[in-house]
Chain A
């Protein structure tokens, strides 16, 4: 198939490929051709073992050979009381990063995750809307099931008379 697609491509003439500035192109063409031939040779003689592929069971265990990571050790280069300002600066950056990571970790434990938030909010929206719906129904004097709220609300809109300012009775 690859050979076909190559044939459909515009062919460069031999004279053109022979020119000096086309040498790289010519070399590439030659290389492609060789590669294609090689591929065919492999395809013909290639054979595979007819056995089921070994299923690698994903291990439950991960090996971590570094004591530094397990103990969450500090960086070994340290300086105190401005003995080496360069290192001191580095230490500050490292410590700030560590503090940030710790704070984030704490936040994650204490705070509410995105999933929980959506869960809670979706249920909250439901309950609150129910509350409002009930009130409106009460004012209408009829009780609707949650299924037909759409149609009933449409009806209600028709029935509802126009809101207008009511004159207070003068006493």
Chain B
């Protein structure tokens, strides 16, 4: 059966006639699994396709599964001998080495306390091992990763909403940014940290982000504007 793009698929259905790239390869994303005979759907959701050869299933989700390369927000829960234990909302806590920070040495340990929130990248993530985080890129620079300090507010969102927010054509963060200065850290594990100029602004931004889940892209601008204008009466 040829893949029906953009339609709802159920676990157990199979697809074939998938497109390949020049090297004859097809990329299977989450929700698709290869058996000997065919490609099977293992998750209920909408079948997505990206040129030239990528297929995956997109579905509403709340449970995060650690994936290598994801940028996530974690909460420090424990300090052990040479690593921190970080809660990233996955089935298991992740570990974060003391040395995985910019400029960290054996003598010069990073200033991280239990309860801090951390923006980090998943270096190791597979189903049989404990996930490992790092707070720097391959060149040893922090590049936006690290402990998130100085207040702000962290909220939780469904994973599909987070993915939508980070898509390049999503107008939400940009429209908000046009209306007021703020800073944000978006973790693919369903956590968003925001910080505005004042507490009221921070709360407004957080509320707008979590309420925009069911708002279409075309309505987003008017939605954000109306919510921000409502705020002006409070000052």
Contact = CB atoms under 8 A, between A and B. Distances in A.
Interface of A: 59-84, 87, 90, 98
Nearest to B197: A83
Contact of A61 (B28, B71, B144, B196): B28
B28 A62 contact: yes
Contacts of B71: 68, 75-77
Given A64-B54, A66-B68, A77-B119, A90 B144 contact: yes
Measured as residues with beta carbon below 8 angstroms from the partner, the interface class of chain B is 35 or more
Nearest to B61: A67
Given A68-B188, A70-B54, A76 B168 contact: no
B184 A81 contact: no
B42 interface: no
Sort A-B residue pairs by CB-CB distance and give the 9 closest, nearest first: A80-B177, A81-B181, A76-B186, A77-B144, A73-B166, A83-B181, A79-B183, A84-B183, A83-B183
B4 interface: no
A90 B25 contact: no
A111 B98 CA distance: 48
6 contacts: A62-B28, A65-B68, A68-B70, A75-B71, A77-B184, A79-B184
B30 A87 contact: no
A65 B187 contact: no
A68 B66 CA distance: 12
Contacts of A61: 25-28, 34, 39
B23 to A, nearest CB: 10
B214 interface: no
Interface in B186-218: 186-188, 195-197
A62 B24 CA distance: 11
A84 B183 CA distance: 7
Nearest to A90: B144
A67 B186 CA distance: 14
Given A76-B185, A80-B178, A69 B69 contact: yes
Interface of B: 20, 24-30, 34, 39, 48, 50, 54, 56, 67-71, 119, 143-145, 163, 166-168, 173-174, 176-178, 180-188, 195-197
A75 to B, nearest CB: 7
Given A76-B187, A80-B178, A70 B28 contact: no
Contacts of A79: 181-184
A84 B152 CA distance: 13
A73 B56 CA distance: 15
Contacts of B29: 64-65, 67, 70
Nearest to B144: A77
Nearest to B176: A80
A62 B26 CA distance: 6
A82 B160 CA distance: 29
A70 B50 contact: yes
A73 B183 contact: no
B168 A74 contact: yes
